[in-house]
Amino acid sequence: MKSLTSQLPDLHLELPTWVADYLSKASEQTETPEQRMAFVVSLARMNIQHGSGGPFAAAVFRLDTHALVAPGVNLVVSSRCSVAHAEIMALTLAEQVVGSHDLGTTGLPGYELVTSCEPCTMCLGAIVWSGIRQIICGAQETDASEIGFDEGPKPLQWVSDLQQRGITIIQDIQRAEARQVLQDYAKQGGMIYNGRPRTS
């Protein structure tokens, strides 16, 4: 059959080296939601400063000890991968660390996703499939759409959709700080990449 490639492609996603450098020096506390969000918002800001991606970051923490399991930053353009949103990076890397596609499986301690911005349609679905138990959001979806990012065809009742699946959602943690990163990105002329625009 007609095929564009003689060899099958593969997908390799890794975080920029500055993330490891930052983590080796980071002294942030992670006991409170505000502290964990402050760490995530720092990652989002650094992702702009290093030119490695969009103004979004996320991280998976253990629910009991609040230890970091995996950080994530937006790598869509740099990794040539439209699914490399911050939440997808943090969730999939956490699954690699834990060794299961299901972070909610029996025998695991339970995990939380902290994200600098409320999830888009894709990440909303990914949150459900990941088995995560709790999500903490910084900026609101309107803060992202205000600078031109499309959140996709997301159900209006997405918060209760998550709650009905036993996922706790905590919103507006450090929202002003998280929103400021988005605003600064737009002011600097950062790339607003989207899929196909809505025409009607």
The yes-or-no answer on residue 87 being catalytic is yes
Q: Which of 119, 130, 136 is nearest to 36 (CA)?
A: 136
d(CA 155, CA 147): 21
Residue closer to a second copy by CB (options 73, 187) is 73
| Interface residue with a second copy, options 32, 65, 142, 188 (CB under 8 A) | 65
Catalytic residue of the set 14, 34, 87, 112 = 87
Residues 1-40 that bind a second copy (CB under 8 A): 1-5, 7-15, 19-20, 23, 26-30, 39
> Is residue 153 involved in binding a second copy (CB under 8 A)?
yes
Let me know: does 41 contact 138? Beta carbons within 8 Å.
Answer: yes
Residues 6+ apart with CB under 8 A from 40: 57, 58, 59, 71, 114, 115, 116, 138
String of contacts with a second copy for each residue 105-144, x by CB under 8 A: ---------------xxxxxxxxxxxx-x-----------
> Is residue 170 involved in binding a second copy (CB under 8 A)?
no
H helical segments located in 26-139: 33-49, 86-98, 121-130
Residues involved in catalysis: 87
